[in-house]
Amino acid sequence: MKTRILLLVGLLLAGCSPKITTNLAETRAPLPEDALIVVLGLDDVVPAEAEYLGKIKIGDSGLTKTGEGTLEKVLALAKEQARLAGANVVKLTDSKAPDVWSSVNRIEANIFYMSDISAFDPGPDHVINPEHPDYAIVYFYRSSFEGPLVTYDVYVGETKVFASKVGAKAQVKVFDPGVIEIWAKTESKTSVSIEVEAGGEYYVRCGVSIGFFVGHPSFDLVPASVGNMEYKSLEIN
């Protein structure tokens, strides 16, 4: 009986995780656990010398919990599957944000092996765009379906810049470089300060953390490469 209960619990836990499908054309020895795995976005180009190893698809199992299907966790799963197959490059070919059909992110990707990926860098928390040298842009977005009933207004200083609801996104120009305060309030105030420079582009992922009565706002300044990918995956509002 105990064995059956443990088996049932295991099956339930597995059902709560995203569904992973792999189709490998070739398998190499797994890479070390600390190996660098690079994720290339939909618009990125795979170097010609990369060796194609197969495909990965990560989707909704039907029971996948929202918190297990964030883009960060789905990408982490893709990187781990790539590592186990001996690949160190994950090239996204399709990416779907949560929608009416599923509350989790779903991706498809090709995986490759390259003998030298030292040229790839996850990148800093911002990039400099010469097209707007006189001001910075802060991209706000909310991709997670956690706390879907909790919405809040986001401020930069005393100016309201973004209505945070699931699937929403906005870009805000900042003409005065330096430290800015980003904040919001539900039952309590949450704030984060970031330093911006003219020409910079920054990505702030908005979310909801657990509160006593109402969820609290949360903010994450994410690497520009990740933020750009998450921001683009959302439908235009």
Task: With residue 230 as reference, give the H or E element that holds it.
Answer: helix 224-233
Do 150 and 109 lie in one domain? The reply is no
By the 10 Å C-beta count (0-12 exposed, 13-18 middle, 19+ buried), 144 is classed as buried
Which range has the worst mean pLDDT, 106-110, 123-127, 219-223? 123-127
d(CA 137, CA 114): 34
Containing structural domain, residue 47: 16-113
- Residue 176 contacts by C-beta under 8 Å, 6 or more apart in sequence? none
If one counts every other C-beta atom within 10 angstroms of the C-beta of residue 131, the result is 7
Do 106 and 186 lie in one domain? The reply is no
Q: What predicted TM-score, i.e. pTM, was given to this entire model?
A: 0.56
d(CA 105, CA 154): 24
Q: Does the residue 8 lie in any domain?
A: no
Q: Does the residue 145 lie in any domain?
A: yes
Do 131 and 219 lie in one domain? The reply is yes
Tokens of 63: 């029971």
Q: Of 82, 113, 144, which marks where a domain is finished?
A: 113
Percentages (nearest 5) of helix, strand, coil residues in the chain? 20, 40, 45
Do 138 and 78 lie in one domain? The reply is no
Q: Of 113, 146, 177, which marks where a domain is finished?
A: 113
Task: With residue 140 as reference, give the H or E element that holds it.
Answer: strand 136-141
d(CA 228, CA 207): 17
Q: Does the residue 208 lie in any domain?
A: yes
DSSP β-ladder status, 136-141 and 169-174: antiparallel
Do 65 and 159 lie in one domain? The reply is no
- Residue 8 contacts by C-beta under 8 Å, 6 or more apart in sequence? none
d(CA 232, CA 62): 25
* 79 SS3 class: helix
Q: What is the pLDDT of residues 59-113, one digit of tens each?
A: 877 655 545 667 778 888 999 999 999 999 999 898 887 776 777 788 899 999 9
**Residue 8 reports pLDDT greater than 50:** no
Q: What is the pLDDT of residues 185-210, one digit of tens each?
A: 987 788 889 999 999 999 999 988 76
- Residue 2 contacts by C-beta under 8 Å, 6 or more apart in sequence? none
Residue 183 contacts residue 189 (beta carbons within 8 Å): yes
Q: Which residue has the tokens 């090709």?
A: 110
Do 176 and 209 lie in one domain? The reply is yes
Q: What is the pLDDT of residues 12-46, one digit of tens each?
A: 444 456 888 889 998 889 999 988 898 888 778 89
Domains in the chain, number: 2
Q: Does the residue 73 lie in any domain?
A: yes
pLDDT of residue 19: 85
In percent, the amount of the chain with pLDDT more than 90 equals 41
Which range has the worst mean pLDDT, 25-29, 80-84, 153-157, 173-177? 25-29
pLDDT of residue 150: 86
CATH number for 135: 2.60.40
